[in-house]
Amino acid sequence: MTTRPFLSVENLSVQFPTPDGLVKATSGLSYSLERGKTLGIVGESGSGKSVSSSALLGLHRTSNALVSGEIWFDGTELLGLPENDMRQLRGNNVAMIFQDPLSAMHPYYTVGDQIAEAYRAHNEVTKKEARVRTIEMLSRVGIPQPDRRVDDYPHQFSGGMRQRAMIAMALINDPALLIADEPTTALDVTVQAQILDLLQDLQREFDTAIILITHDLGVIAEVADDVLVMYAGRAVEYGTTKQLLTRPAMPYTRGLIDSVPNVNDPLDRKLHPIPGNPPSLLNPHTGCPFFPRCEFSHLVPDNKCDTELPELVAISPGHLKRCHLPDASVLYGSANDYTPVTAIAERTGTR
Amino acid sequence: MAAYVVRRVLVAIVMLFVMAFTVFALFFATPGDPALTSCGKYCTPEKLEGVRQMLGYDKPTTYQYAEFVKGVFVGRDYPVNDAYREALIANGNERLIIHCDAPCLGYSQRQASTVNELIGDAAPATFSLSVAAFALWIVVGITLGIIAAVNKGKWLDRILVGLTLVVYALPVFFIGNFFLQYVSIKWQLFPYPRYAPITDGIGPWFIGLVLPAITLALFFMAAYVRFTRAFVLEAMSEDYIRTARAKGLPSRQVLVKHGLRAALTPLVTMAGLDFAVLLAGAVITESVFNYQGLGLLAVRANQDQDLPVLIGLVLVAGTAVIVANIIVDILYAYIDPRVRLRK
């Protein structure tokens, strides 16, 4: 028996039957992750990044989603797991933090109550023991006066403190895998950095594997070891952070890099948004899903981008792309004359 | 929290004053002679004058309003005219003077009784009916609503939602008459419903209430099944439900502790106000079952243009709604910490 990675997602597809037809939220997604490492999943809204991660926790089970593929977590296949076993894993071995901590917390219960609930769901402890543990966790995530704030309600916390509390809730059972779904999107920039630092500290301490879902390449550059770029429910590029940011091999990845503003840029540099909108997941394009928005498709002969879906192929060890472009170097040119890439890459290098 | 309650109560008192003034102004400061409507069918000029003196309708409206407010707080005597009253005492007819204790709502010449007595006689029937119907529709309506929500899209949900539509479509007088004609008289499944005061014993009181209470409750029950279903479904789609599930809580705990707690909050507001409205009398149900309650009293007062009774009923109904509002607000603060802990 070959040893599987700690987390291995294989050929995962998530589809939703609707009156208008089958919505293919995720198609044939594969990735893997080891303990102590961070995988960044990047993509626009509706690219399937959140849906695929919810499937890891079995949160799709109350919806009418059709899920196929395999999810191997620490030697267990999760998709076929009975609901009760899955529930034992949820919040215990696999935990999740969400984008908007205000709506993700129940307004009628105290922060402490909601954190302690996660602890008591998986441990035979008294209320008092759970409370002690909760205060300890609040203190560890940097909430001042945790023994008093434990009795506050979510609306009495600031946005950053709420996200810290969510992290405390997610980490209270020392999960081996943490899924962070846009954990900093709803926060101020200064608070964003604090939260990312906190996540990294806790990751080192607990050797947690983290899946970080975001649309912000700046965040990815700062914390991710590997990056998976998703477009229209498919992986379009997958590799180490350094590979993707310095040698993007798919025009969409390059577009994402171009969209990141940088303080070192001249003031009059225009931002380069990607033109157009993400495609419908209801009737996917037969060719490359990115074709209608791609600026480089004219470099591919025989109109292949329009007619044929590219396979995910390796261009160097560990670096996969889904693109017909024969020579990806047109996307970054020589490293010196392409500033946005090098700027982000420099930030990666300083980690 | 205490400041919140005090503020709500003060606002309520102001509202009651405004309401009393508006009602009074509408009935007495408009064209038409209020004495004429109190005088009755065989009215003579002498009798009309007597009614005026008796009820004080010969005085300016402002004076009448002042007397009315005074009556509410300290009580008053009829006839209103002082000379008239003194004459009665001088003639040894003191027993003809009618004392109306605070809160005096007026005197009905037509029914030869104070409004307080009329309302006091009718209130127990209406109150019993309202409480029984309320308990029934809250318990059954909310339970079925939760069951429908949990089974959303399945046959049980479809049947429940379909049934609510049927019940909605059936008028109250139809349901009431059906119970009366068929369930009670023809099939003899249930004794003929007749209101018995609770002082006659819980048993007779309860048996007399069952059919009217079901009649009254069915419509609200159907509405509450639908509302509860919608509120539960809405709550269960909230982000914090996803969080609760992501924590690995058992689905029952997710539903009860996280979902229902949020879903039932808006129902508190609705239930409080619906109940308060019922206290003013369920006209059709009371008519069908011949319950001598506030609803029938209001119907009769309307037919007779019995202004003192109408004003009294409006005030009682308004007070019920305002008091219910305060109770709902306080309950809400108790339920929702965001209201309670507001600065």
pLDDT confidence band for A342 (50 / 70 / 90): low
Q: Is the dihedral of CA B70, B76, B80, B81 positive or negative?
A: negative
A106 and B262 within 8 Å at the Cβ level: the answer is: yes
| pLDDT(A10) > 80 | yes
pLDDT in tens, B96-137: 888 888 889 989 988 889 999 999 999 999 999 999 999 999
What tokens were used for B180? 């009366």
- For residue A153, list chain B residues with Cβ-Cβ distance below 8 A: 337-338, 341
Q: Which amino acid is at B92?
A: G
The dihedral over CA atoms of A28, A34, A37, A43, expressed in degrees to the nearest 10, equals: 0
B337 and A96 within 8 Å at the Cβ level: the answer is: no
Q: How far A80 CA lies from chain B's nearest CA (Å)? A: 17
Q: Select from B150, B247, B339 the residue whose CB has the most chain A CBs within 10 Å, as the one to mutate to test that interface.
A: B247
Among A182, A173, A160, CA closest to A95? A173
B245 and A108 within 8 Å at the Cβ level: the answer is: no
> pLDDT below 70 — which residues of chain B?
29-30, 342-343
**Edge-to-edge strands, sheet with A234-240:** A94-97, A177-181, A209-214, A38-42, A226-231, A234-240, A319-321, A313-316
| pLDDT(A159) > 80 | yes
In degrees rounded to 5, what are phi and psi of residue A66? -100, 120
Return the residue of B nearest to A153 by Cα: B337
Among B114, B86, B119, B80, CA closest to B100? B114
- Helix ranges (H only) for chain A are 49-57, 83-89, 101-104, 111-120, 127-140, 146-149, 159-171, 189-206, 217-223, 241-246, 251-258, 304-307, 339-349
| pLDDT(A48) > 60 | yes
Q: Which residue has the higher pLDDT, A23 or A344?
A: A23
| pLDDT(A346) > 70 | no
pLDDT in tens, A222-239: 899 999 999 999 999 999
For B45, residues 6+ apart whose C-beta sits below 8 A from its C-beta are: none
Residue range A203-213: mean pLDDT, rounded: 93
Residue ranges of the domains in chain B? 37-104, 117-340
What tokens were used for A140? 């560890």
Determine which of A112-121, A339-348, B300-309 has the lowest per-residue pLDDT on average: A339-348
pLDDT in tens, A253-310: 988 888 777 666 677 767 777 888 888 888 777 889 898 888 888 888 888 888 889 9
pLDDT at A156: 94
Determine which of A145-154, A205-214, B233-242, B302-311 has the lowest per-residue pLDDT on average: B302-311
| Cis peptide upstream of residue A107 (ω within 30 degrees of 0) | no
Q: Quote the distance between the C-alpha of residue A330 and its chain's center.
A: 28
pLDDT at A336: 44
Q: How far apart are the first and last CA of chain A?
A: 36
- What chain A holds in terms of domains, given with CATH numbers, is 1-93+176-194+205-351 (3.40.50.300), 105-174 (no CATH)
For B196, residues 6+ apart whose C-beta sits below 8 A from its C-beta are: B204, B205, B207, B208
pLDDT at A340: 54
CA distances from B160 to B167, B171, B176, B178 (A): 11, 19, 22, 22
Q: Residue A172 in contact with residue A198, Cβ under 8 Å?
A: no
Could you give the angle at which helices B2-28 and B61-74 cross, rounded to 10 degrees?
Answer: 140
- For residue B261, list chain A residues with Cβ-Cβ distance below 8 A: 106, 108
Q: Is B240 on the interface with A (CB under 8 A)?
A: yes
| pLDDT(A349) > 60 | no
Specify the CATH architecture of the domain B117-340.
Orthogonal Bundle (1.10)
For B239, residues 6+ apart whose C-beta sits below 8 A from its C-beta are: A98, A100, A103, A104
Angle at B262 between CA B260 and CA B264, to 5 degrees: 65
What tokens were used for B302? 């309307």
A96 and B246 within 8 Å at the Cβ level: the answer is: yes
Residues of chain A that touch chain B, judged by Cβ-Cβ distance less than 8 Å? 57, 59, 62, 87-92, 95-96, 98, 100, 103-108, 110, 114, 117-118, 121-122, 153, 155-156, 166, 169
Could you give the angle at which helices B155-169 and B202-236 cross, rounded to 10 degrees?
Answer: 120
